[in-house]
Amino acid sequence: MEWIDQVRLVLQILTNTSATVLDVSGDNEYWTLRIMYPYRDELSETSEFCDQYELSFEVERVRELSSETAGRYGLTDEQFDALTVACEEGYFDVPRKADLGDLANEIGISHQALSERLRRGHEVLIKETLLIGSRSQFRIRLEP
């Protein structure tokens, strides 16, 4: 890696705040960083710093982290409940010990609504745990 001035600026951005880098990937055009800021104003400071040094960046997503298990994984409370009930009742077992109709009745929603909720919940879990780095939250363009 050739350490150009802009890389030093990126490192300064991260060391001047309480940011935690969760994931980094890059190519010869972009660095993609998944960063957790404990406070929103530190993201604003980063924005101002990038403006000052003419570094372009884009924030693709901001999500509040909560201490709740569902919030930590990006799930809604309803998705969290549906997934945990399905697991506890044996829906994911082979062979299945519960079917969607029974689970939907237990939760109090339609078969179709439960199916969609489970699919959306699976998608969120996969994106938040397995595909980290393929979807950026903070991207800095480095000009040679």
pLDDT in tens, 6-22: 677 677 777 777 777 77
pLDDT value of position 136: 42
More confident residue, 79 or 144: 79
Mean pLDDT of 96-105: 94
- 116 pLDDT above the threshold of 70: yes
Instruction: Give the CA distances from residue 114 to residues 11, 50, 96, 98, 118, in Å, rounded to whole numbers and listed in that order.
Output: 45, 44, 16, 13, 6
What DSSP state is assigned to residue 144? -
- 143 pLDDT above the threshold of 70: no
Instruction: Give the CA distances from residue 142 to residues 10, 22, 41, 115, in Å, rounded to whole numbers and listed in that order.
Output: 10, 20, 24, 43
More confident residue, 89 or 37: 89
pLDDT value of position 65: 62
pTM above 0.85, yes or no: no
